[in-house]
Amino acid sequence: MKKRRGVYNKWAKTVVLNRKASIRSHVPHTLLFSENSLRRMLQLYQMVYIKPNTGSHGDGVMRVEHKNGSYSYQLGAKKRRNLTWPQLITSLKNKIRGTKYLVQRGIHLSRFKNRIYDLRIEVQLNESWQWQISGMLARVAQHGMAVTNGAQGADIYTFDAVIAAHGGAELVQRLQSELHVLCVDSAHLLKAKYPFLNELGFDIALDHKMHPWILEVNTTPESIPFKKLPTRTMYNRIMQLRRLNARRS
């Protein structure tokens, strides 16, 4: 299969998504990382994520908090606590080492079985050249982890099982409809800027009010998580559309 073209600059994708008001309310406040932007964001939100502008699998993503006058951060399962501001900045800069990073408002994720989770929504161009959702699942982090990526040990559950635990079939249906509009609208916006796109993987966080937040949009998403669901229906559909789009691109 032909190698897929992607857009790997997270800042550029964030700028595109923020152009439309109805989508902007689902995009966490994001700035380019600097000492000043981190200070400002922590004053506003107390908890933020800093992440590489390019990169995948949750590599290098750190959760930073300001609480009771001191700072802490977490990278993978490792946590550093009770830091002063200079200690925090020195430690973070040692990790970042000149790479371009972003600072993103931290969303306090909804929990399933007392573990944080997010959603992966797969959106592809179908046979009629229309964007459609071809897959939905939940990634449930390991206990104590700050990220939900499969590469960091997350468990895969069906969307329905996780969402129904919060509000039954009614919530499942409402969220499905809301996510369909959000992801398809976002796909149209991104394709207008990058016409070669035909497949997108949305990483969606739900806060405690079940409000969806677009954490990231992957333009060459992996299909492996969908292989881990109880049935292969979504995985097979994703691969079918991927092959179709590879032939006609």
- Over the stretch 121-172, which tens digit does the pLDDT of each residue have? 999 999 999 999 999 999 998 887 766 665 567 899 999 999 999 999 999 9
| pLDDT value for 149 | 60
- Over the stretch 43-85, which tens digit does the pLDDT of each residue have? 999 999 999 999 777 778 999 999 999 999 998 878 999 999 9
Burial class from Cβ neighbours inside 10 Å (0-12, 13-18, 19+) for residue 21 reads exposed
- pTM of the predicted model as reported, rounded to 2 decimal places: 0.94
What token pair was written down for 163? 């969402």
d(CA 165, CA 99): 40
Contact 155, 140 (CB under 8 A): yes
Instruction: Give the residue carrying structure tokens 């800069």.
Output: 93
Boundaries of every domain in the chain: 10-28+109-248, 30-105
Write the DSSP assignment of 69-89 as a string of letters: TEEEEEETTEEEEEE-HHHHH
- Over the stretch 1-31, which tens digit does the pLDDT of each residue have? 678 899 999 999 999 999 999 999 999 999 9
Q: Which residue has the higher pLDDT, 142 or 199?
A: 199
Contact 123, 133 (CB under 8 A): yes
| pLDDT value for 134 | 98
Q: Average the pLDDT over 193-210 and give the result.
A: 97
| pLDDT value for 154 | 87
- Over the stretch 101-120, which tens digit does the pLDDT of each residue have? 999 999 999 999 999 999 99
Largest CA distance in the chain: 57
Q: Average the pLDDT over 167-192 and give the result.
A: 98
| pLDDT value for 150 | 57
Residue 204: strand, helix, or coil:
strand
Contact 172, 153 (CB under 8 A): no
* Residue-averaged pLDDT of the chain: 94
- The matching CATH number, chosen from 2.40.180.10, 3.90.1150.10, 3.30.470.20, 3.40.50.2300, for 10-28+109-248 is 3.30.470.20
* pLDDT over 60 (residue 33): yes
| pLDDT value for 228 | 95
